[in-house]
Protein backbone atom coordinates (compact mmCIF):
# COMPACT_ATOMS: atom_id res chain seq x y z
CA UNK A 1 0.00 0.00 0.00
CA UNK A 2 0.96 3.59 -0.21
CA UNK A 3 2.79 5.04 2.75
CA UNK A 4 1.59 8.53 1.99
CA UNK A 5 -1.82 9.96 1.28
CA UNK A 6 -1.96 11.08 -2.37
CA UNK A 7 -3.38 14.49 -1.58
CA UNK A 8 -6.85 15.98 -1.50
CA UNK A 9 -9.89 14.40 -3.17
CA UNK A 10 -12.33 17.24 -2.47
CA UNK A 11 -13.29 20.00 -0.08
CA UNK A 12 -16.95 20.32 0.91
CA UNK A 13 -18.50 23.54 2.19
CA UNK A 14 -21.92 24.93 3.08
CA UNK A 15 -23.44 27.78 1.10
CA UNK A 16 -26.61 29.82 0.95
CA UNK A 17 -28.77 30.07 -2.16
CA UNK A 18 -27.42 27.87 -4.97
CA UNK A 19 -27.71 30.31 -7.91
CA UNK A 20 -25.32 32.86 -6.36
CA UNK A 21 -22.93 30.02 -5.60
CA UNK A 22 -23.09 28.74 -9.20
CA UNK A 23 -22.58 32.23 -10.62
CA UNK A 24 -19.56 32.94 -8.44
CA UNK A 25 -17.73 29.69 -9.05
CA UNK A 26 -18.50 29.37 -12.76
CA UNK A 27 -18.10 33.03 -13.71
CA UNK A 28 -15.76 34.74 -11.24
CA UNK A 29 -13.57 31.70 -10.55
CA UNK A 30 -14.18 30.18 -14.01
CA UNK A 31 -14.63 26.66 -12.68
CA UNK A 32 -16.78 24.02 -14.33
CA UNK A 33 -19.89 22.68 -12.62
CA UNK A 34 -18.91 19.03 -12.96
CA UNK A 35 -21.77 17.40 -11.06
CA UNK A 36 -25.26 18.50 -10.14
CA UNK A 37 -26.71 16.04 -7.68
CA UNK A 38 -28.39 16.03 -4.27
CA UNK A 39 -27.20 15.65 -0.71
CA UNK A 40 -27.48 11.86 -0.32
CA UNK A 41 -28.50 12.34 3.33
CA UNK A 42 -31.03 15.13 2.56
CA UNK A 43 -32.18 14.86 -1.07
CA UNK A 44 -34.22 18.07 -0.96
CA UNK A 45 -30.87 19.90 -1.06
CA UNK A 46 -28.43 20.10 -3.96
CA UNK A 47 -24.90 18.85 -3.84
CA UNK A 48 -22.93 20.91 -6.37
CA UNK A 49 -19.44 19.93 -7.49
CA UNK A 50 -17.00 22.30 -9.17
CA UNK A 51 -13.67 21.43 -10.73
CA UNK A 52 -11.41 21.82 -13.73
CA UNK A 53 -12.73 21.06 -17.24
CA UNK A 54 -11.69 17.43 -16.80
CA UNK A 55 -12.69 17.21 -13.11
CA UNK A 56 -9.10 16.49 -12.11
CA UNK A 57 -8.32 15.03 -8.71
CA UNK A 58 -7.32 17.85 -6.40
CA UNK A 59 -9.70 20.32 -8.05
CA UNK A 60 -13.06 19.28 -6.64
CA UNK A 61 -14.86 21.81 -4.47
CA UNK A 62 -18.38 20.86 -3.43
CA UNK A 63 -21.24 22.70 -1.75
CA UNK A 64 -24.39 21.89 0.11
CA UNK A 65 -26.54 24.97 -0.52
CA UNK A 66 -28.81 25.00 2.53
CA UNK A 67 -31.32 27.78 1.83
CA UNK A 68 -32.08 28.35 5.51
CA UNK A 69 -28.62 27.72 6.99
CA UNK A 70 -27.52 30.38 9.42
CA UNK A 71 -24.23 32.16 8.85
CA UNK A 72 -21.23 30.21 10.07
CA UNK A 73 -17.90 31.34 11.40
CA UNK A 74 -14.66 29.46 10.96
CA UNK A 75 -12.70 28.89 14.11
CA UNK A 76 -10.56 26.34 15.92
CA UNK A 77 -11.56 22.79 15.05
CA UNK A 78 -12.63 23.64 11.51
CA UNK A 79 -11.04 23.81 8.08
CA UNK A 80 -10.92 27.56 7.57
CA UNK A 81 -9.81 27.99 3.95
CA UNK A 82 -8.82 26.28 0.73
CA UNK A 83 -6.48 27.80 -1.82
CA UNK A 84 -6.31 27.48 -5.58
CA UNK A 85 -2.86 27.60 -7.12
CA UNK A 86 -1.96 29.86 -10.00
CA UNK A 87 1.20 30.30 -12.03
CA UNK A 88 3.10 33.48 -11.06
CA UNK A 89 3.14 34.53 -14.74
CA UNK A 90 -0.67 34.63 -14.75
CA UNK A 91 -1.18 35.95 -11.23
CA UNK A 92 -1.15 39.65 -12.12
CA UNK A 93 -3.49 39.12 -15.08
CA UNK A 94 -6.05 37.40 -12.88
CA UNK A 95 -5.82 40.16 -10.26
CA UNK A 96 -6.51 42.69 -13.01
CA UNK A 97 -9.36 40.51 -14.33
CA UNK A 98 -11.03 40.36 -10.92
CA UNK A 99 -10.47 44.06 -10.25
CA UNK A 100 -12.00 44.94 -13.63
CA UNK A 101 -15.07 42.90 -12.76
CA UNK A 102 -15.35 44.75 -9.45
CA UNK A 103 -14.48 41.60 -7.51
CA UNK A 104 -12.95 42.65 -4.23
CA UNK A 105 -10.03 40.76 -2.74
CA UNK A 106 -7.59 41.11 0.13
CA UNK A 107 -3.85 41.08 -0.40
CA UNK A 108 -1.61 40.03 -1.87
CA UNK A 109 0.18 38.94 1.26
CA UNK A 110 3.32 36.83 1.35
CA UNK A 111 3.07 33.26 2.67
CA UNK A 112 6.03 30.89 2.48
CA UNK A 113 7.56 33.14 -0.18
CA UNK A 114 4.52 33.23 -2.47
CA UNK A 115 1.82 35.81 -2.95
CA UNK A 116 -1.67 34.92 -1.75
CA UNK A 117 -4.87 36.86 -2.35
CA UNK A 118 -8.22 36.16 -0.74
CA UNK A 119 -11.51 36.62 -2.58
CA UNK A 120 -14.86 36.19 -0.84
CA UNK A 121 -17.61 33.95 -2.16
CA UNK A 122 -21.26 35.10 -1.93
CA UNK A 123 -21.49 33.77 1.64
CA UNK A 124 -18.35 35.60 2.71
CA UNK A 125 -16.18 32.48 2.76
CA UNK A 126 -12.53 32.98 1.83
CA UNK A 127 -11.37 31.79 -1.59
CA UNK A 128 -7.58 31.94 -1.55
CA UNK A 129 -5.43 32.03 -4.65
CA UNK A 130 -1.73 31.32 -4.19
CA UNK A 131 1.23 31.64 -6.52
CA UNK A 132 2.87 28.35 -7.41
CA UNK A 133 5.58 28.07 -10.07
CA UNK A 134 4.37 24.57 -11.03
CA UNK A 135 0.73 25.63 -11.37
CA UNK A 136 -1.29 26.19 -14.55
CA UNK A 137 -2.19 29.73 -15.61
CA UNK A 138 -5.83 29.18 -14.68
CA UNK A 139 -7.16 28.63 -11.16
CA UNK A 140 -8.68 25.19 -10.56
CA UNK A 141 -6.20 22.88 -8.91
CA UNK A 142 -5.90 23.19 -5.16
CA UNK A 143 -2.74 24.63 -3.67
CA UNK A 144 -3.80 23.48 -0.24
CA UNK A 145 -6.18 23.66 2.63
CA UNK A 146 -5.91 25.35 6.02
CA UNK A 147 -7.04 23.71 9.26
CA UNK A 148 -7.56 26.11 12.18
CA UNK A 149 -6.65 24.42 15.47
CA UNK A 150 -6.37 25.21 19.16
CA UNK A 151 -3.31 22.98 19.33
CA UNK A 152 -1.40 22.04 16.20
CA UNK A 153 0.37 19.04 17.78
CA UNK A 154 -2.18 16.20 17.72
CA UNK A 155 -3.35 16.91 14.16
CA UNK A 156 0.26 17.27 13.02
CA UNK A 157 1.08 13.89 14.58
CA UNK A 158 -1.82 12.19 12.76
CA UNK A 159 -0.96 13.73 9.39
CA UNK A 160 2.78 13.07 9.72
CA UNK A 161 3.01 9.81 11.68
CA UNK A 162 -0.03 8.04 10.20
CA UNK A 163 -0.91 9.72 6.90
CA UNK A 164 2.62 10.30 5.64
CA UNK A 165 2.83 14.08 5.34
CA UNK A 166 6.12 15.87 6.00
CA UNK A 167 6.80 19.27 7.49
CA UNK A 168 7.46 21.74 4.69
CA UNK A 169 7.62 25.11 6.43
CA UNK A 170 6.75 27.04 9.54
CA UNK A 171 5.79 30.70 9.88
CA UNK A 172 4.99 32.60 13.03
CA UNK A 173 4.09 36.26 13.38
CA UNK A 174 1.72 38.45 15.38
CA UNK A 175 0.39 35.56 17.46
CA UNK A 176 -0.39 33.49 14.37
CA UNK A 177 1.41 30.23 13.70
CA UNK A 178 1.24 28.27 10.44
CA UNK A 179 2.81 24.85 9.92
CA UNK A 180 2.84 23.59 6.33
CA UNK A 181 2.63 19.86 5.66
CA UNK A 182 3.23 18.38 2.23
CA UNK A 183 2.81 14.96 0.69
CA UNK A 184 4.24 13.59 -2.54
CA UNK A 185 4.84 15.53 -5.74
CA UNK A 186 2.72 18.59 -6.36
CA UNK A 187 -0.24 17.31 -4.34
CA UNK A 188 -2.02 19.99 -2.29
CA UNK A 189 -0.50 20.70 1.11
CA UNK A 190 -2.21 21.01 4.47
CA UNK A 191 -1.53 24.10 6.57
CA UNK A 192 -2.13 23.88 10.31
CA UNK A 193 -3.03 27.31 11.65
CA UNK A 194 -3.15 28.49 15.24
CA UNK A 195 -4.43 31.98 16.00
CA UNK A 196 -6.78 33.65 18.43
CA UNK A 197 -10.37 33.30 17.20
CA UNK A 198 -12.43 36.45 16.63
CA UNK A 199 -15.73 34.54 16.70
CA UNK A 200 -17.04 31.40 18.28
CA UNK A 201 -16.59 28.68 15.68
CA UNK A 202 -19.91 27.70 14.16
CA UNK A 203 -20.78 25.48 11.23
CA UNK A 204 -23.10 27.26 8.81
CA UNK A 205 -23.13 28.88 5.41
CA UNK A 206 -19.74 30.18 4.44
CA UNK A 207 -17.85 27.45 6.28
CA UNK A 208 -16.08 24.29 5.22
CA UNK A 209 -17.78 21.09 6.33
CA UNK A 210 -15.01 18.55 5.72
CA UNK A 211 -11.81 17.83 3.87
CA UNK A 212 -11.46 14.64 1.84
CA UNK A 213 -8.15 12.95 1.11
CA UNK A 214 -7.51 10.57 -1.81
CA UNK A 215 -7.24 6.80 -1.86
CA UNK A 216 -6.19 4.99 -5.07
CA UNK A 217 -8.96 2.43 -4.87
CA UNK A 218 -11.11 0.43 -2.46
CA UNK A 219 -8.26 -1.77 -1.24
CA UNK A 220 -6.05 1.25 -0.52
CA UNK A 221 -8.94 2.89 1.34
CA UNK A 222 -9.46 -0.18 3.54
CA UNK A 223 -5.77 -0.22 4.41
CA UNK A 224 -5.96 3.43 5.40
CA UNK A 225 -9.03 2.61 7.46
CA UNK A 226 -7.10 -0.12 9.34
CA UNK A 227 -4.20 2.23 9.99
CA UNK A 228 -6.48 4.96 11.28
CA UNK A 229 -8.32 2.52 13.56
CA UNK A 230 -4.96 1.32 14.86
CA UNK A 231 -4.07 4.95 15.56
CA UNK A 232 -7.19 5.30 17.70
CA UNK A 233 -9.44 7.13 15.23
CA UNK A 234 -13.13 6.30 15.12
CA UNK A 235 -13.71 5.65 11.44
CA UNK A 236 -17.07 5.02 9.76
CA UNK A 237 -17.65 1.98 7.59
CA UNK A 238 -17.28 2.49 3.85
CA UNK A 239 -20.17 4.57 2.47
CA UNK A 240 -21.12 4.54 -1.23
CA UNK A 241 -21.16 8.12 -2.54
CA UNK A 242 -21.88 7.08 -6.13
CA UNK A 243 -18.75 8.79 -7.57
CA UNK A 244 -16.41 7.48 -4.87
CA UNK A 245 -16.48 5.38 -1.74
CA UNK A 246 -16.00 7.34 1.47
CA UNK A 247 -14.90 6.81 5.05
CA UNK A 248 -15.11 9.60 7.62
CA UNK A 249 -13.44 10.32 10.92
CA UNK A 250 -13.02 13.26 13.29
CA UNK A 251 -9.36 14.30 13.40
CA UNK A 252 -7.82 15.04 16.82
CA UNK A 253 -8.18 18.79 16.40
CA UNK A 254 -11.88 18.50 15.57
CA UNK A 255 -11.86 18.82 11.78
CA UNK A 256 -13.97 16.22 9.96
CA UNK A 257 -11.76 14.20 7.59
CA UNK A 258 -12.84 11.87 4.81
CA UNK A 259 -10.87 9.47 2.65
CA UNK A 260 -12.45 9.03 -0.78
CA UNK A 261 -11.52 6.68 -3.61
CA UNK A 262 -10.54 7.97 -7.05
CA UNK A 263 -12.79 5.43 -8.81
CA UNK A 264 -15.43 5.22 -10.15
CA UNK A 265 -15.27 8.98 -10.72
CA UNK A 266 -17.60 11.60 -12.11
CA UNK A 267 -18.03 9.99 -15.53
CA UNK A 268 -19.90 7.12 -13.88
CA UNK A 269 -23.29 8.50 -14.95
CA UNK A 270 -22.56 11.09 -17.65
CA UNK A 271 -19.84 11.59 -20.24
CA UNK A 272 -16.96 14.00 -19.72
CA UNK A 273 -18.53 16.34 -22.27
CA UNK A 274 -21.84 16.34 -20.39
CA UNK A 275 -20.54 16.62 -16.82
CA UNK A 276 -22.75 18.87 -14.75
CA UNK A 277 -25.52 19.28 -17.32
CA UNK A 278 -28.25 17.08 -15.89
CA UNK A 279 -29.56 16.52 -12.39
CA UNK A 280 -27.99 13.22 -11.39
CA UNK A 281 -29.61 11.13 -8.69
CA UNK A 282 -28.22 7.98 -7.07
CA UNK A 283 -30.32 4.84 -7.63
CA UNK A 284 -32.04 5.09 -4.22
CA UNK A 285 -33.61 8.45 -5.21
CA UNK A 286 -34.31 7.90 -8.92
CA UNK A 287 -37.87 6.78 -8.08
CA UNK A 288 -38.49 10.14 -6.38
CA UNK A 289 -37.03 12.23 -9.23
CA UNK A 290 -40.24 14.14 -10.07
CA UNK A 291 -40.79 15.13 -6.45
CA UNK A 292 -37.12 16.09 -5.94
CA UNK A 293 -37.09 18.19 -9.12
CA UNK A 294 -40.19 20.05 -7.92
CA UNK A 295 -38.56 20.91 -4.59
CA UNK A 296 -35.10 21.93 -5.81
CA UNK A 297 -34.80 25.53 -6.96
CA UNK A 298 -33.90 25.92 -10.63
CA UNK A 299 -30.28 26.82 -11.26
CA UNK A 300 -28.78 28.13 -14.47
CA UNK A 301 -25.14 27.84 -15.54
CA UNK A 302 -23.72 30.56 -17.75
CA UNK A 303 -26.97 32.52 -17.87
The rounded distance, in Å, linking the Cα atoms of 218 and 262 is: 9
Whole-number minimum distance, CB 16 to Zn ion, in Å?
Answer: 19
Whole-number minimum distance, CB 225 to Zn ion, in Å?
Answer: 15
Beta strand 142-148 with 189-194 is parallel
Of 220 and 258, the one with the shorter C-beta distance to Zn ion is: 258
Residues that bind Zn ion (CB under 5 A): 12, 212, 258
- Taking phi over 0 as left and psi of -120 to 50 as alpha, with beta for the rest, 30 belongs to left
Of 141 and 212, the one with the shorter C-beta distance to Zn ion is: 212
Other Cβ atoms within 10 Å of 241 Cβ, number = 16
**292, 43 contact by CB (below 8 A):** yes
The rounded distance, in Å, linking the Cα atoms of 246 and 62 is: 15
Of 86 and 211, the one with the shorter C-beta distance to Zn ion is: 211
Of 40 and 105, the one with the shorter C-beta distance to Zn ion is: 40
Whole-number minimum distance, CB 256 to Zn ion, in Å?
Answer: 9
Which run of H or of E encompasses 218?
Answer: helix 218-230
Whole-number minimum distance, CB 12 to Zn ion, in Å?
Answer: 5
Whole-number minimum distance, CB 241 to Zn ion, in Å?
Answer: 7
Q: What is the arrangement of strands in the sheet containing 189-194, beginning at the earlier edge strand?
A: 105-111, 114-120, 126-131, 78-86, 142-148, 189-194, 176-182, 166-173
Instruction: Mark out the alpha helices in 7-75 (DSSP H runs).
Output: 18-23
Whole-number minimum distance, CB 60 to Zn ion, in Å?
Answer: 9
**250, 231 contact by CB (below 8 A):** no
Of 50 and 94, the one with the shorter C-beta distance to Zn ion is: 50
Of 12 and 37, the one with the shorter C-beta distance to Zn ion is: 12
Amino acid sequence: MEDRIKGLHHVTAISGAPQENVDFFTKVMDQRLVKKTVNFDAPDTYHLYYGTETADPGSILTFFPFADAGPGHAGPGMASAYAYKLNPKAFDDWMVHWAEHAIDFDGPVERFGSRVITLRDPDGAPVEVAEDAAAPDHPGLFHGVTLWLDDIGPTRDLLVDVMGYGEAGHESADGTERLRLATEGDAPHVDLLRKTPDHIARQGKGTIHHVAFRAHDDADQLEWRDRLLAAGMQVTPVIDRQYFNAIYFRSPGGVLFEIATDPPGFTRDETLADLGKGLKLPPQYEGRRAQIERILPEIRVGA
